[in-house]
Structure 1
Amino acid sequence: MKAKQIVLAERPKGLPTAATFRFEDIETPALQDGEVLLDPLYISVDPYMRGRMNDAKSYAPPYPLDAPIVGGIVAKVLESKAADLTAGDTVVGYLPWKTKIAISATEVRKVDVNGIPPSYYLGVLGMPGLTAYFGLVDIGNPKPGETVVVSGAAGAVGIVVGQIAKIKGARVIGIAGSDDKVALLKEKYGYDEVINYKTTEDMKAAIAAAAPDGVDVYFDNVGGDITDAVVANLNFFARIALCGQIALYNNTKVETGPRILPTILTRKALIKGFIIGDYAPRFGEAMQALGSWVKEGKLQYTETIVDGFDQLPEAFLGLFSGQNQGKMLVKA
């Protein structure tokens, strides 16, 4: 069977470009025992993928050059030679960017799409939702009445973080990059205040005005100048869940900004970086909570869906210019 794949053609310096990716025509091999043939439905593009394009030590190995890029995919089973899966099943896994995928059934997990959009397993019921849950509940641990600040608040993780914080009884302040996102966060997701960092000259003062009682929990998806401004407003015993640093991912040199550790020390604050895989033994706990909140209407979700497998590189690049509201997906 003929198919297409997208491989990493070069290691980008700074922001990736179209030349970072290469399309190839391939033949899909015949299935072996224990394998399934998959037709991708939705393909996830995520900021963490940028780090894997570098040849550098990190929590996940670099993508090999000239090999298919791998990420979260929800797919339909077209054919099965595995005991536990049949044609028509819907599965999710970390899979190669291909239009048809022949792979061991052990690499995927069957999911229930009865009343749940399949794409949600790449978003609110997938890696972003799990990330939001453990980062906020386990590290941030907000108490009723405390103030939670979320950077990248209109992204796939941020919109879930804010809603969980409200469920926990906190006051929630978001930071986003457009007036449309400000309105979305306040009107649909219940954020108490939202700051448009692109039109705000003094972020430190803006955060102080929005959080007159100080910041108790900071969920950091962005880093850079925004994080410097939030740290300046921390309360004693504040907690920072360090989830992402998208403002810095494409830098070609190390920036020197304000030294935040003296503030962390004097405010007796906690800062903890985390990777969602560390919480794998507790995924069941999170899925039960997230699934219940979705069914109860307490947890809403937004997706930005780009149509067409050929648009994958463009959708990925759009993450770094803020083109997404909520989870960015490609409908294959």
Structure 2
Amino acid sequence: MILDRKHALQQKLFREFAETEFTKELQDELDETGEFNWDMHKKMARYGFMGVKIPEEYGGAGADSLTYVLMDEEFARQDAVLAIYANTSNSLGGGPLLLAGSESQKKEYLPQVASGEKILVFGLTEPGAGSDAGGTTTTAIPDGDDFIINGRKCFISGAPMADWIIIYAKTDLSQKGSRGISMFIVDMHADGVSLGAPEKKMGINGYPTSDVVFEDVRVPKANLIGPLNKGFQYAMKTLDGGRLGVAAMSVGVAQGCLDEAVKYAKERKQFGRRIADFQGVSFMIAEMQADVEAARQLTYHAATLKDQNSPQAGMACSIAKYFAAEAANRCAYKAVQIHGGYGYIKEYRVERLYRDARIMSIFEGTSQIQEVVIANNLLK
């Protein structure tokens, strides 16, 4: 795809911001400490990145899916954590409200999310309900004008910093599987809400992740998002957008791996020659370029279909996410291999890229779940 002038300028802005503001020193610090950088969050909010996909009437930029993809790609090319900072509000965080929220709910929550004043996260996964999200055991039982929520969500990205969380809970206990699940927005500071310790992760450090526990949490019925007992379908629609974002991040990570591999192969000499001049190395670089470009085109195509409200958009997002995530891992492997022993050392950027790439084929639906989605679309 050849970008038009508007999107090319946006791409340039995203790249310049990432390269200028998200320095290697900051990346190393966040990777070492695992802490959230509030200064970076506020700076990104001032640029409007937190509300790129949120409509203008709710304080966002109202940009299209291709702009969103370009942002995630360019940020992840610099560092996957930077992309996640901007992605949450535009993807899983704001998605359910945009899909099913009432007008009053959108006006109450989205402007504060778009401005970066508040952080809104997504709570679907449970200890016993990962890929099988329909196995949700968290419950929301009506009690007067409220629901009382009990349960546990795990692997919730951004939970330690969040002000609100959108959760999925069983409201009709007589229904099996994914039926009878509803969506709620819950104040993270409400009585009965507590956090587990931040997880010690392989990668994407600098964006803390933890469990969220609900013990007799009283939530007003006004906090129900969308129809009662129909929340699961909106979770799946939200994940479509989330998969597009992860596809874009995967493209960025893969491109970052290629950038590092090309640079190192030109500089490193063995047997009196650049290692780039050895066919074994040059072929790996060629394979990486093919993976990056194929993943990019699939992702841009999926974004275009999503902007057109095409019925094929859902499957296209799954295809893009599946291929791009696996491509990022292939590229990370080859980048480390080209660096040899140095690729195994933390001083070299490819070591972190290798760790960050691994999550791409897991979150927002594993690669195997994407294969299920793709096959079901073809075989139904």
The TM-score with structure 2 as length reference comes to: 0.25
Bigger fraction of residues in helix = 2
Bigger fraction of residues in strand = 1
